[in-house]
Amino acid sequence: MTLRYGARRIRCRGFWTTPTCLNASQTPKVTVPWQRCRSVASTPNAERVLFPGALNSKFTNTIEFLRPTTKDAIPTYRVMDQYGKVIDKEIGTETEDEEALSLYRNMVCLSMMDVLMFEAQRQGRLSFYMVSAGEEGIAIGSASALSPSDVIFCQYRETGVYMQRGFTLDQFMNQLFSNSKDLGLGRNMPVHYGSSDLNIHTISSTLATQIPHAAGAAYALKLQNMQQPDIPPRIAVCYFGEGAASEGDFHAALNIAATRQVPCIFICRNNGYAISTPTSDQYRGDGIASRGAGYGIDTLRVDGNDIFAVRRATKEARRLALENGGKPVLIEMMAYRVGHHSTSDDSFAYRQRVEVEDWKRRDNPITRLRKWLEGRRLWDEGKERELRSRLRKEILLAFDKAEKGKKPAIKHVFDGVWEELTEEQRWHVEELRDILERYPKEYDIDAHEEGLDSLRELEKGGRR
């Protein structure tokens, strides 16, 4: 690897760039082979058209529309079948027994937490929750194949990514209850987790906004990877649903990621529904994978119920994403959404119960891995009972602790935007304090850390 500042071309991590200096304000230009030819006219007798933007296209005198409906669907990559049997014994699962057990425990923990939190919401103890039922393998399997330093952007149904990275039960519960220990200081809806320690950006409800953010972060990482060749390179990873892929943000993000060749894995969870909208009303193409090719992005479709396939696909995508200085990769992971969209949804209003029951019975990432583990005599009914009983206690303990916790100090409503309070914010603080003092019976101020003092302190100091 040579980094010659001031030289015309720089060789860095295996590819040539043209900038003379590597700083963030300059765009390193990566020349991909098909861009080298910029001729606007074809040479006489040429068999192919040479035109910028559609290079190397053969002339034809047959009128033949590209008709996607006549093509075979993109295949779905699998490592093990529905019965937990590995298909290609020679390649195997590339997973040690201990690691497979740990992935299994995390998947069970996630599904148990989901069931308990869903019930807690029904009891009125939580305001909102979203389960990952059926999609546990995607989140946990893909997260297990990444580097802890990779930067992650989630949608909202990727609780397993947080769990696999080490977000603790206490941290989940503190966020769900918006108590004073919530890393987001109670400013977000439940399940909108975030953790700078784990390199996971905070979830935003506004669909698809994370996709261009991830493309931008990947561009920054590309520059960092070039500037700091002694540090292991990092990538950005972005999760989203097939419904979110209908947003303009998805298209803008994939296009900029492709043209800038940024190291980013885009992971689409295709679970068949965007709340009540089935995929048949969402698009007519071959899923989301077919769009990757349109943007010139390496793409793979994977069986999301097969955690080994998810892991291997993610590992390979990470390797590709760092190849030749960086490039985006798209993976479409297929796994039916078994649960309701959220606690605000009753999915039986728009789909048949039998459809869900069929899916539950037919295939599931947890039971598939369990079958594999049992086949290797690593798991049995006794171990299952013991695990479930231990996890139930741990989840409920964290739940009780977080439920009893104090709410964050009220001053945090004004935190984190400006270094000092603005004139307008001062009026808001004064007005809020005044209302809370005048109507003490309407507001449970003592439930918040520091009570009203936190606002008085703000009014006095003006600084946070």
Ligand X SMILES: Cc1ncc(C[n+]2csc(CCOP(=O)(O)OP(=O)(O)O)c2C)c(N)n1
Q: Is 282 in the site for Mg ion (CB under 5 A)?
A: no
- How many Å apart are CA 340 and CA 360, to the nearest integer? 13
By the rule CB under 6 A, 275 interacts with ligand X: yes
Tell me the residue nearest to ligand X as measured from the CB: 241
Tell which positions 228-267 bind ligand X, by CB under 6 A: 241-244
Residues 6+ away with beta carbon under 8 Å from 117: 126, 129, 131, 176, 399
From candidates 210, 271, 314, 343, binder to ligand X by CB under 6 A: 271
Select from 188, 189, 213 the least CA-distant residue to 200: 213
Interaction mask 187-226, Mg ion, x per CB under 5 A: ----------------------------------------
Q: Does 20 bind ligand X (CB under 6 A)?
A: no
| 271 binding Mg ion? (CB under 5 A) | yes
Taking the complex as a whole, the smallest distance from the CB of residue 273 to ligand X amounts, in Å, to 5
274 makes contact with ligand X (CB under 6 A): yes
Catalytic residue among 42, 94, 99, 119: 119
160 binds, among Mg ion, ligand X, none (CB under 5 to 8 A by kind): none
**Measured distance CA(319)–CA(303) in Å, rounded:** 20
- State the pairing for strand pair 329-334/264-270: parallel
Query: Using CB distances below 5 to 8 A depending on partner kind, what does residue 205 bind out of Mg ion, ligand X, none?
Result: ligand X
Strands (E), 291-399: 298-303, 329-334
Residues 6+ apart with CB under 8 A from 139: 110, 132, 157, 158, 159, 160, 161, 163, 164, 239
- E strand map for 320-377: 329-334
Token pair of 237 as six digits: 């990873």
Distance CA 37, CA 43 (A): 13
Minimum distance from residue 304 beta carbon to ligand X (Å): 12
Which one-letter DSSP state was computed for residue 243?
Answer: T
Site membership for ligand X, residue 337 (CB under 6 A): yes
**The residue type at 208:** A
Among the listed ranges 42-50, 236-244, 367-375, 440-448, the one in contact with Mg ion (CB under 5 A) is 236-244
Q: Which of Mg ion, ligand X, none does residue 61 bind to, with CB < 5 to 8 Å depending on kind?
A: none
Give the binding-site size for ligand X (rule: CB under 6 A): 15
Binder of Mg ion out of 137, 241, 304, 365 (CB under 5 A): 241
280 binds ligand X (CB under 6 A): no
**Listed residue (11, 37, 36, 34) closest to 22, CA to CA:** 11
Question: Biggest alpha carbon distance in the chain?
Answer: 88
Q: Does 157 bind ligand X (CB under 6 A)?
A: yes
Closer to ligand X by Cβ: residue 28 or 194 = 194
- Using the 8-state DSSP alphabet, how is residue 443 labeled? S
Position 35 contacts ligand X (CB under 6 A): no
* Start-to-end C-alpha separation, the chain: 47
Does the footprint of Mg ion cover residue 339 (CB under 5 A)? no
22 contacts: CB under 8 Å, gap ≥ 6: 3, 5, 10, 12, 28, 223, 226, 227
Residue 270 · residue 279 · CB < 8 Å: yes
Write down the H helix ranges in 123-247: 136-143, 159-165, 169-176, 210-227
Continuous segment of H or E residues that includes residue 425: helix 423-438
The region of 12-20, 32-40, 90-98, 272-280 touching ligand X under the rule CB under 6 A is 272-280
Gap between the Cα atoms of 56 and 111, Å rounded: 50
Q: Which of the listed partners (Mg ion, ligand X, none) does 359 bind, with a CB threshold of 5 to 8 Å by partner kind?
A: none
Instruction: Choose the one of ligand X, Mg ion, none that binds residue 190, judging by a C-beta under 5 to 8 angstroms depending on kind.
Output: none
Taking the least distance from each CB to ligand X, the nearer of 26 and 276 is 276
**Closest separation in Å from C-beta 431 to Mg ion:** 42
State yes or no: is 342 an active-site residue: yes
Q: Between residues 192 and 412, which has the closer beta carbon with respect to ligand X?
A: 192
Catalytic residue status for 341:
yes
Catalytic residue among 57, 127, 147, 205: 205
The residue range among 59-67, 192-200, 225-233, 268-276 that interacts with ligand X, by the rule CB under 6 A, is 268-276
Is 132 considered catalytic here?
Answer: no
Q: How far is CA 197 from the centre of its chain?
A: 16
Q: Which is nearer to ligand X, 204 or 224 (CB)?
A: 204
Contacts of 400 (CB under 8 A, 6+ apart): none
Helix (H) or strand (E) holding 12: strand 10-12
Residue 338 within binding range of ligand X, rule CB under 6 A = no
Binding-site ranges for ligand X (CB under 6 A): 157, 205-207, 241-244, 269, 271, 273-275, 337, 341
Binding-site ranges for Mg ion (CB under 5 A): 241-243, 271, 274
Catalytic residues: 119, 205, 341-342
